[in-house]
Structure 1
Amino acid sequence: MDAATPIGIVLGFIVIIVANIMEGGHPMSLFLLPPMLLVFGTTLLVTVAGGTMVDAKTAVKSIKRAFTGKVQPASDLVPAIVSLAERARREGLLALEDGLREIDDPFLVKGVTMAIDGTDPEELREILEAEVHAKKGEDRQAAKFFADAGGYAPTIGIIGTVMGLVHVLENLSTPEKLGPLIAGAFVATLWGVLSANVMWLPLSNRLRRLGALEAARMELTIEGVSAIQSGSNPRLVAEKLRSLLPSDQQTVEEAA
């Protein structure tokens, strides 16, 4: 599990609450049910309205992934692919079938299995690339859902503040009520801006980043499977795969 998102969001809320206390405010003055219900409820509803129910269900499922997901670096695949390339060059593709049991990457196993079955190299690449394209589209839509929520939330917070100020104007004859009413009115704007920048947009960026890492791992796998199928020299396979890695992972892989 990569704890960057829960750490960032939870500590972000804590810092805001602590800063409020240091300024002399009371934490419960921020947690007013009506403005929170307006901001969070309406934001989610209008975000759902901008897509399909399938998009909404996908986004809900992706929340767990955003908080607990971890993508193994693509460099972890290089030794396994090179080992498969060595064995394929020495014993042939059919000899790889037993070695697949030791590999825990489903995409790599699928690609090598199709190569063993004699799938045409161009068709094999097209099939695997289509799967990567579909994965990118799904991740992009999940990230867009939360990005849209981040765009709606501040405006909905302003709507809540306007509604609160209407109540303020209705109570001008009772000055003792004006202070709490004005404070409550601006809590809606606070939650609109806060939820957008501390929750929705970070979740969107997190899903976008996880999707990019997974896609990069899958693309490296495609190049590895193609090299294995063509019987390339294992040393050249290793160099080619390392060239596809980010610089920090290249250093780690070369050290390994």
Structure 2
Amino acid sequence: MDKISIAGLLLGIGAIIAGQLLEGGHINSLVQPTAFLIVIGGTLGAVMLQSPFPVFRLGLSMFGWIFRPPVPPFRQAIDQIVNWSNIARKEGLLALEGPAGALRDPFAAKGLQLLVDGVEPDRLRDVLDVEIGAWEQQLKTGAKVWESAGGYAPTVGILGAVMGLIHVMENLSDPSKLGAGIAVAFVATIYGVGSANLIFLPVAKKLQAHIARMVAMREMLVDGLVGIAHGDNPRIIESRLQGYIV
């Protein structure tokens, strides 16, 4: 559980509510279903319009990473690579065929199998780098769903504000309806700017940070496999791979 994400979300929303109370306002003033529907519904519709369904679904599924982030097992992977290196030095590359078949990670299994097949180190790196690039791009498109939402929300909030003011202008002769229109106008702006800067954009940035660590994990694996292909000493490989651990 990522406690800092929960703390940040609660602090951001709590600060706004506390400021409202300190100014003598009421929490109910910030609760406007109409404004919420305009901003969230409009933002969601805009994001759905720009995104293919697989990308949109991926972006939504990645939201869980904010509270339960993926934790790349760097230390475990280094130990595994060093073990492969020792096996290769003692028994030859063909002895790694058994470990390759037992791996659950398709990427690691593919890389180790290429090593067993005797692929040249440079060619091995090229093949795996292409796969890493495609995988990284796919994850980044999912994160951009939230980044796009952060861009649309303030504009949709302004749209909600204009709609509220139109409602006010249409009912100038009836003072009893002016308050509701003005409330929607201002609260819609709060919802738009607040959701973008307190939720959507921070979520996008955190997802990008998680993606960077996951990519670094795969790059470390490639570096280790290339070191084994070159016949490097296991201790040298381990020392180099430890540089990936931050």
| Aligned twin of 1:32 | 32
Alignment partners' CA distance in 1, 2:213 and 2:104 = 17
Alignment of 1:21-170 (within 5 A): 21-72=21-72, 74-99=74-99, 106-170=106-170
Structure 2 residues not aligned, in runs of 5+: none
Deviation track 1:131-162 (CA, whole Å, cap 9, x = no partner) reads 11011111221122211111111111011011
* CA distance, structure 2, for counterparts of residue 76 and residue 88 of structure 1: 19
The Cα of 1:93 is off from its aligned counterpart by: 2.1
- Determine what percentage of the aligned residue pairs are the same residue: 39
Q: Residues 4, 114 of structure 1: CA spacing in aligned structure 2 closer, same or farther, 3 A cutoff?
A: farther
Structure 2 counterpart of 1:63, one-letter code: F
Following the alignment from structure 1 to structure 2, what is the Cα–Cα distance between the partners of residues 102 and 5? 36
Q: Can you give the 5+ residue segments of structure 1 that lack an aligned partner in the other structure?
A: 250-256
* Deviation of 1:59 (Å): 1.5
Q: Which residue is equivalent to 2:212?
A: 212
Task: Give the distance between the partners of 2:149 and 2:41, measured in 1 at CA.
Answer: 11
Q: Measure, in 2, the Cα distance between the counterparts of 1:195 and 1:187.
A: 12
Decide whether the 8 Å contact of 2:2 with 2:66 is kept in 1.
no
What is the CA distance between 1:226 and its match in structure 2? Answer: 1.0
Amino acid at match of 1:146: W
Q: What letter corresponds to residue 59 of structure 2 in structure 1? A: A
User: Aligned in 2, Cα 1:106/1:71: closer, same or farther, shift over 3 Å?
Assistant: farther
Equivalent residues of 2:120, 2:229 under 8 A apart: no
d(CA) in 1 for partners of 2:162 and 2:105?
53
Contact 2:35–2:160 at 8 Å: present in 1 too? Answer: yes
Measured against aligned partners, the alpha-carbon deviations of 1:197-247 in whole angstroms (never above 9, x if no partner) come to: 11110111111111111111110110101111222111221222234x25x
8 A Cα contact 2:97 2:116, kept in partner: yes
Q: Which moved more, 1:102-111 or 1:201-210?
A: 102-111
Contact (CA 8 Å) 2:150, 2:195: kept in 1 or not? yes
Matched AA of 2:22: M
* Residue correspondence of structure 1 range 221-236 to structure 2 within 5 A: 221-236=221-236
State the one-letter code of the partner of 1:172. Answer: L
CA shift at 1:100, angstroms? 5.7
Per-residue deviation, 1:67: 3.4
**What SS does the aligned partner of 1:68 have?**
coil
Counterpart Cα distance in 2 of 1:94 and 1:28: 70
Please give the TM-score of this superposition, normalised by the length of structure 2: 0.88
Instruction: Write the distance in 2 (CA, Å) between the matches of 1:102 and 1:31.
Output: 55
For residues 81 and 31 of structure 1, the distance between their equivalents in structure 2, rounded to whole angstroms, comes to 55
Query: 1:236 is matched by which residue type in structure 2?
Result: I
Q: Deviation at 1:47?
A: 1.8
Could you tell me whether the CA contact under 8 Å between 2:171 and 2:178 is conserved in 1?
yes
Alpha-carbon separation, structure 1, partners of 2:72 and 2:122: 27
